[in-house]
Amino acid sequence: MSRFGLTARAGMKQPALAGVLVFLIAVVGGGVGVHAAESAQQAAAAEDLPDVTAIIAHYIEAVGGEELLRSLTSSHATGSFSIASQGLDGTLEVFAAAPNKLLVLTTIAGMGESVTGFSGEIGWSMDPTMGPRLLQGKELDQIRDQADFYSDLYDPATFSVMEVLGIEDFGGANCYAVRFVRLSGLEAVEFFEVGNGLIRGMKNTQESIMGSIAVTTFLSEYREFGGPLVPTMIVQEFGMGQTAEISLVTVEYNSVPDATFDLPTEISVLVGG
C-alpha cells in the first residue's frame, strides 16, 4: 500500500521508490526504520478523533474532489531523485493507467536503466544487477496494490482494516495517523494533516527480493499540473541514515497509450514458461 493517494500516484507512485530502494538495498545493504504500527503511540484519546471516513473525505476534497479524480484514466510523471549521502542520482518516469497498470523507469548514473511494471496481471522487473524477472510473493502483492489507479479514493472493499490511531506530529505538522491494511495483508500508517487534510507522509514496509525494509516517507510541496494536487517533493528515510529525495517535475494526464504497459519481450518469454 503506502500510497501517495491518487493525486500523488498520478504523479509519483510508490513503485518508483521501490525501484530505487531495491537498488539501494543492493548497494548499501538496506536499512531499518521504525515499524509503521509502532508510530502512533502518541495517539490522542480515541473519543476526540474523527471517523476514518471523514479523514478520507477531507483528503479527497483537499486534492481536488472525487469527480476530478475519477475523470483521470492515466498519468505520466517525470522527475529526478538523489541519495546525496551515497553520491547517487538519477531520473525517473512513472506511467500509470486505470484500473491497475503501472510502469516505472529509473535511470541511475553508473548503473543504467531499471524498469518495474504491472500489466494488470503480471508484475515484473528488469535491472542490470538482477536481469529480467517476474515478481512473486510480497513483491507482487505490493506492486498490485500500488498499481490500483483509484486507490486514493480509499475504496473500503480493498482494505481489511482502516483505523484512526491518533494525532501526532509528522513532518512538522499535526496529523491524523491512520492505519490501513490491504486485503493483500500489506499495511501502512498514513498521516493526514489535521488542518488541510493532505497526506504528509507514511510509514510502511517496502518489499524487495532481498527482504523487507521499513520506510518513512515525507510528502510536501503540493502543486497541480492540470489535475489534482500532487506532492512534488518526496523524501524517504530507510534506515542506516540514508535518505532518498525525489523531485517531481512534470505530470500529464489521460495521454498514456495502452501499449506503454505491454510486457517487454524478455518478460513475455518468462511468462510463457
Q: Residue 194 CB, nearest distance to other proteins (Å)?
A: 31
Q: Residue 169 CB, nearest distance to other proteins (Å)?
A: 22
Which residues here bind other proteins, judged by CB under 8 A? 23, 25-32, 83-88, 109-112, 128-133, 208-214, 239-242, 264-266, 268-270, 272
If the CB atoms of residues 50 and 264 are measured against other proteins, the closer one turns out to be: 264
- The string of DSSP letters for 131-184 reads EEEE--HHHHHHHHHHT-TTGGG--GGGEEEEEEEEEEEETTEEEEEEEEEETT
If the CB atoms of residues 110 and 226 are measured against other proteins, the closer one turns out to be: 110
C-alpha cell at 81: 531523485
**How many Cβ atoms sit within 10 Å of the Cβ of residue 173?**
17
If the CB atoms of residues 56 and 188 are measured against other proteins, the closer one turns out to be: 188
- Distances from the Cα of 171 to the Cα of 28, 61, 66, 239, 272, angstroms: 25, 21, 26, 17, 46
Q: Residue 223 CB, nearest distance to other proteins (Å)?
A: 30
Q: Residue 119 CB, nearest distance to other proteins (Å)?
A: 16
Cα(104)–Cα(247) distance, integer angstroms:
15
Asked if 19 and 88 touch (Cβ cutoff 8 Å), the reply is: no
If the CB atoms of residues 46 and 210 are measured against other proteins, the closer one turns out to be: 210
If the CB atoms of residues 243 and 254 are measured against other proteins, the closer one turns out to be: 243
Q: Residue 86 CB, nearest distance to other proteins (Å)?
A: 5
